[in-house]
Amino acid sequence: MHWGGGTGEPLVPSPVQSPALQNALYANSKRSFWKDGPYTGAVTTVQRPPARLRLLQAADRVLFDRGIRTTPVDELLREAEVSAATLYTHFGSKDALVAETLRVRLADWQAVWDQHIVAAGDDMARLLAVFDALNSYRGDRRHPSRWCAFLAAATEVPDATGEIGEVLAADTALLTDRLLHLSRPLAGARAQDLADEVLVAYGGALAAFLRGYPQSPIDVGRRLARSAAQAHCRS
């Protein structure tokens, strides 16, 4: 179908169309989207997320890549399209927003890891599920970041206290406690050694995303963790 195209040129059907088609097109163009008008097609309206959710999403997009301390509050407000009063009404402070953003990430990460552990078929697969979960979590894109939001926060706030410190400690506890639990069936009395080695392989994979090398850090981390587990199984 050919339509008029220049600036100010009316968008009308080409004269090669039949009169009936031209009349139908003209009638459609005159129909209204008002609910009481002749047009009966559904109109989809996209509602914006609530202000609190927009703040969390903006913090998730911005803070862990651009920097928690270097990102001014005004930039977060622009990203979320809210006022400063809205931020302080919902969270009370920038640090409280950071902490809540990390809590949401931690809950989502744990849920993904849980799913991969349940799906694993044996003890080795359950231990290595942390790498499968990491691959799924990064592929989801709900929480984009160059490497790891928790390590980024720990780097920027090394002596974190209060809410940020609590959620960073919770992330560390989840990793260390769960890896130890999953290492016991494979390494027995040396489970702590194996858990530590898997944790270092996992942390190295995360850091490799920041460096940009090797090309597939999750695969390399999984390989290192498997080799460590196999060594403990033989000993």
Q: Which domain holds residue 174?
A: 100-234
DSSP 81: T
Instruction: Over range 5-34, report the average pLDDT.
Output: 40
Q: Is residue 9, in this structure, part of any structural domain at all?
A: no
* Residue 48 within a domain: no
Q: What average pLDDT score do residues 48-54 get? A: 92
Q: What is the mean pLDDT of residues 1-26?
A: 40
How large is the average pLDDT for residues 11-35?
41
Residue 89 has what pLDDT? 96
Q: What average pLDDT does the segment 215-223 reach?
A: 96
Q: What is the pTM (predicted TM-score) of this model?
A: 0.76
Report if residue 72 sits inside a domain.
no
Task: Answer yes or no: is 142 within a domain.
Answer: yes
User: Confidence class of residue 197 from pLDDT cuts 50, 70 and 90?
Assistant: very high
Domain CATH number, residue 160:
1.10.357
At 63-114, the pLDDT tens digits run 988 899 999 999 999 999 999 999 999 999 999 999 999 999 999 999 999 9
Is 42 within the bounds of a domain?
Answer: no
Q: What pLDDT is recorded for position 48? A: 83
Note whether residue 91 is domain-resident. no
Q: Residue 35: what residue type?
A: K
Q: Render the burial of 70-82: b for 16+ CB within 10 Å, e for the rest.
A: ebeeeebbebbeb
Q: Is residue 13 part of a domain?
A: no
Number of domains in the chain: 1
At 107-163, the pLDDT tens digits run 999 999 999 999 999 999 999 999 999 999 998 777 777 789 999 999 888 887 899
Residue 67 lies in a domain: no
In DSSP notation, 136-196 reads: HHHHH-SS--SS-HHHHHHHHSTT--HHHHHHHHHHHHHHHHHHHHHHHHHHGGGHHHHHH
Find, among 23, 99, 17, the residue nearest to 55 by Cα: 99
Q: Which of 180, 181, 207 is nearest to 196 (CA)?
A: 180
